[in-house]
């Protein structure tokens, strides 16, 4: 109901640390809780205050060219970011209204067999000229690929309703970028308002939240999976 938390994490991966992948990564996460009205006298009796909860997260990661040889890549350029080093948003602990990790850059995945059945060939799949419009929608699966930067925040107002039961109003938002700090326009973001309930049971706090996600069409690049 009151206080704050703050975490800063810095990470370096390279041959020096025994890693095949090479990157520099930094992230920060913080929360602030402010109680209004009379402080709780007895939580078992439901005498809890109104609480304003703020949360923020930001991060950035940069691939290093030092992993190109280890990964079998030729030529010059940046390295490859491991999926676990990337940033994602969406889910109950992030932007509610989106499924886990579903807010951010995504691709539309189709099995190789589905593309061949729709009239593509192995050659057109390999050179990117395959037209996947003939693939049934049930054979297409959106997959999050993560980003190289993230900015995320939420504002939550927790109001006691009755014994052991409280209500919540919130606004969540995040932006997951792919171009780094020098090109922030590449990426995807959203703001999702919503509400929910909290019930303090003997087993812990049970929560249900409903977030309203933006509705609209989206163009996704397609990839083939064996």
Q: For the chain, how many residues are written?
A: 226
Residue from 14, 145, 24, 11 nearest 70 by CA: 14
User: Which residue is it, tokens 């010059």?
Assistant: 76
Q: What is the pLDDT of residue 141?
A: 87
pLDDT band for position 181 (cuts 50, 70, 90)? very low
pLDDT of residue 44 exceeding 60, the answer is no
Confidence at 218, pLDDT banded by 50, 70, 90: confident
Q: What is the pLDDT of residues 68-87, one digit of tens each?
A: 666 666 666 667 888 899 99
SS3 content of the chain, % helix, strand, coil (to 5): 15, 50, 40
Residues 6+ apart with CB under 8 A from 84: none
Q: What global pTM score does this model have? A: 0.81
What is the reported pLDDT for 185?
43
Distance CA 2, CA 36 (A): 10
The answer to whether 187 touches 147, Cβ cutoff 8 Å, is: yes
Q: Considering the chain, what percentage of its residues have pLDDT values greater than 70? A: 86
Q: Using a pLDDT cut of 90, give the percent of the chain over it.
A: 42
| H helical segments located in the chain | 112-117, 122-127
The 10s digit of each residue's pLDDT in 8-38 is: 999 999 888 888 888 999 999 999 999 987 6
DSSP string, 23-36: EEEEEEEEEEEEEE
Is the per-residue pLDDT at 155 higher than 90?
Answer: yes
């Amino acid at each position: 109901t009151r206080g704050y938390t703050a975490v800063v994490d810095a990470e370096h991966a390279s041959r020096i640390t025994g890693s095949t992948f090479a990157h520099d990564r930094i992230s920060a996460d913080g929360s602030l809780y402010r109680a209004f009205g009379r402080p709780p006298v007895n939580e078992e009796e439901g005498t809890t205050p109104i609480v304003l909860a703020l949360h923020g997260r930001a991060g950035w990661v940069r691939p290093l060219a030092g992993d190109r040889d280890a990964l079998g890549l030729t030529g010059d350029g940046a390295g490859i970011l491991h999926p676990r080093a990337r940033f994602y948003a969406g889910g109950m602990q992030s932007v509610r209204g989106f499924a886990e990790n579903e807010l951010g850059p995504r691709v539309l995945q189709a099995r190789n067999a589905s593309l061949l059945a729709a009239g593509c060939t192995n050659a057109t799949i390999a050179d990117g000229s395959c037209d996947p419009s003939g693939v049934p929608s049930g054979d297409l699966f959106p997959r999050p690929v993560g980003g190289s930067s993230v900015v995320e925040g939420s504002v939550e107002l927790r109001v006691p309703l009755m014994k052991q039961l409280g209500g919540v109003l919130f606004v969540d938002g995040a932006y997951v970028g792919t171009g780094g700090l020098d090109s922030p326009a590449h990426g995807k973001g959203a703001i999702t308002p919503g509400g929910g309930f909290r019930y303090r049971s003997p087993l812990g706090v049970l929560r249900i939240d409903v977030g309203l996600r933006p509705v609209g069409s989206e163009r996704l690049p397609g990839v083939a999976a064996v």
